A and B are shown apart, each in its own frame.
Chain A
Amino acid sequence: MTELSLAPGAVDRDRALRLLQDYGVYGGVLALLLFNFVFTPHFASAENFRTQAVQVAPVLIVALGMALAIGTEGVDLSVGSVMALSTSLLSLYLGYGPWTATLIAVAGGVVAGLASGALVAFVGVQPIVATLASMVAARGLALVLLPQLKDVHDPGLAALGSGDVLGVPHLALIAAALALLVAFVVRRSTFGRQLLAIGDSRPAARLAGLPVRRVLVVVYVCSGALAAIAGVLATARLTASDPTSLGTLMELSAITAVVVGGTPLSGGRVRIGGTVAGAVLIQLLTTTLVKHDLPPSWTQIAQAVVIVAAVYAARERGKR
């Protein structure tokens, strides 16, 4: 009874906005694809699509974890640094074989996520601040472990980075598998339901006896682990570990992908399909600008505009 009534006009506008927010990202991807098919030479080649898929994979994987964090009305700013930490750990322990090294790298991500998650869930620090601290510390740790760029020569990792199955690059396959896995978890698991309930209405979730703290910690652990996996894959693709620059601004790309994909910053919803499309959209935007000889600076400016526009559009519903 404390809600104000909406005028009919406002309802229509509301619906239009909702549609735009939910499906706008797919429209954007389609529009960019069409534009490129028509105006960009050599765009419609299998080789090009392979390149695009390989490039989008790390962002996509990071964005999956980010979507979970945002679904609980939080955010994880440490993802880029966790990628750097992961690449450092990977090349440091490569001597024990690629699998062991990968496991250690992912464990590093889990620990970073555990730290952020504990700060958020048990101490009650705002997610931005908690993950900011992890962001600084993880990047520093990465640089301590591996002070500068180091080439990674490992046949196993090289195969992972540049190999393919039936023409589909490994990276793309892994990203797709993880996206399906996360989508499955969100839709079907107990954890997924609890996550959404916590993000939607924390007091209700608490009164319903949900393990709010545990779910929050697990969310940040997932985000950390996914970022670490992205770090391993990026290393494999570049065949080099570069803790200084790997993953810088990754948090922004991931947040953009999630928000553009229709997941509101106010929590309670996680749209994995939209997130995937959001990551693809940013990738296509970059490609389009690059292929038309616009310098990278334009890409950054464009991305900044896209993210502000996406958040602005989502604002109306967030306030509801």
Chain B
Amino acid sequence: MLTVTGLCKTFPGVRALSEVDFTARAGEVHALVGENGAGKSTLIKVLTGVYQPDAGELSCDGSQVRFATPLQAQQAGISTIYQEVNLVPLMSVARNLFLGREPRGRLGLIDFRRMHRAAEDTLRAMGIRVDVRRPLRELGVGAQQMVALARAVAVDARVVIMDEPTSSLEPREVRTLFGVIRTLRERGIAVIYVSHRMDELYEICDAVTVLRDGRVVHTGRLAELDRLRLVALMLGREIGEVREEGLTKFTGSRDTAARPVLEAEGLRIRHQLDGVSVSLRPGEVVGLGGLLGSGRSETAKAIAGAVPVDGGRVVVAGEPVRAGSTAAAIRAGISLLPEDRKTEGIVPGLSVRENIALAALPGLSRFGLVDDARVDRIVDTFMKRLRIKAAGPHQKVGELSGGNQQKVLLARWLALHPKVLLLDEPTRGIDVGAKAEVQALVDELADDGLAVLLISSDTEELIEGSDRVVVLKDGAVVRELTGDAVTEDELMRAIAAVPAGGHDD
């Protein structure tokens, strides 16, 4: 149905896809899995015409095709259902379903009666009953996704790509969605299903393709692949690969009896976190393990007050921290190095110096004026200590390499003398040298008595760097690895474990 061969796509400094072969067959649900930066989203964007491949061929029904725009891909029968539903929320369900192909009556006016009836029929055929006259946004996310699916099918889509469709659905909605997907499969539509939820993959998918570092590392029937093996493929680790040094590292060498400096209890965010509790002691590095979408970043953000929480509390050194306020969290001594460095971390147009001083400014000012001498001193100290490579303190941060941007952000937080440092993917997208430096730095900071929460998709980094690992799955803590159990094997087993009995999602 849809085949790509030898696909390559390079971005400045990153080879996002290399020699990728992928085939979606009619009447088959094909899982596409991989960790962050594996190239899944790039592949999808190439398939849907958002990106142009540097090399390789795309063919649809045996004939070679090229999509210059997403619209062209759609006209060729490839529809995508994104996490964020791509419809018009303020328009009615029927109008969304029929936009651009409304049935028209006399005088070329839209025949709403016919349109509503047709919309109802279409949706009912998929097992959904909604009032098609109501604005789309009044429906639940699941129902909205169903409408998007219905539209895709109605415009004669032959390939449907679903990007994490269940990430914000209720269990009941997931059931309906799976029902619809099965209908699609029976109609001979090829479905490409991207998700990290192991249980769902095994329930609905026929085939699987695993991407890692821009390459296909496995493709085949899903039933022939057991869970542990799949996790191992995604993470790029071998099971049972004995790592001597992994057992003899500093685990347990730190004072585990000390009072925790940070205690987060029962953090709850609808659809994202389900009562996550984590505690950190001074000088301890705690890893937060789990696959993408398991709630790692959300946990960090909830602790740092960057997202509103529906429940739970955060206590730093015995003092409760007001929820949902970054300023309060920062005052309490919590610093978050966000996952998305480019949009949430650096201020690209400002200089290195200003970025470092940004959060600490009030403390570095006198009568509202910046005390340049003190700022220079701090900037100088941190640029030296963290070995930030820039043309000078006045170079724009946007022009630095990823590793140096990350160090600038670290410096910004260290200048505040935090008690707790939350690091979300601190080494993502930075080169090997800088990566080692950042890792060494994290160790050094912990030795100085800082409590560190480390999130990383790089299992090796997580295991090597952490004293303890809290494993998350579907927004809840499933296991805590301590002492000798802090190994990649154990981590993968924890992630792959089949939930015992009726887990309530």
Contact = CB atoms under 8 A, between A and B. Distances in A.
Touching chains A and B, CB distance < 8 Å: yes
Interface of A: 1-5, 188-191, 193-194, 196-197, 200-201, 203-211, 268-269
A63 B338 CA distance: 36
Interface of B: 11-14, 16, 37, 304, 306, 326-327, 329-331, 336, 338, 343-350, 354, 357-359, 361-362, 364-365, 368-370, 372, 412, 429
Contact of A204 (B12, B327, B331, B344): B344
A190 B347 contact: no
Given A1-B429, A206-B306, A207-B345, A193 B357 contact: yes
A201 B409 CA distance: 14
Contact of A191 (B336, B349, B350, B368): B368
B343 A201 contact: yes
Main SS at interface, chain B: mixed
B254 to A, nearest CB: 29
Contact of B347 (A2, A4, A205, A209): A205
B358 A193 contact: yes
Given A204-B346, A209-B327, 16 more contacts: A1-B37, A3-B11, A188-B372, A189-B369, A193-B354, A196-B347, A201-B343, A201-B346, A201-B347, A201-B348, A204-B347, A207-B336, A208-B358, A209-B329, A209-B330, A211-B327
B12 to A, nearest CB: 5
B129 to A, nearest CB: 35
B361 A193 contact: yes
Contacts of B370: 188-190, 193
Nearest to A194: B361
Nearest to B363: A190
Contacts of A193: 350, 354, 357-358, 361, 370
A5 B51 CA distance: 12
B323 to A, nearest CB: 15
Contacts of B354: 193, 196-197
Given A190-B369, A209-B326, A203 B344 contact: yes
| 8 nearest A-B pairs in the assembled complex, by CB-CB distance | A209-B330, A268-B349, A200-B349, A190-B365, A1-B14, A208-B359, A209-B327, A197-B347
Contacts of B345: 204, 207
B122 to A, nearest CB: 35
Q: Which of A1, A3, A210, A211 has the most CB of B within 10 A?
A: A1
B336 to A, nearest CB: 7
A193 B364 CA distance: 12
A207 B344 contact: yes
A133 to B, nearest CB: 23
A200 B348 CA distance: 7
Contacts of A189: 365, 368-370
13 contacts: A5-B11, A190-B365, A196-B347, A196-B349, A200-B347, A203-B343, A204-B344, A204-B347, A205-B347, A206-B306, A207-B345, A211-B327, A268-B349
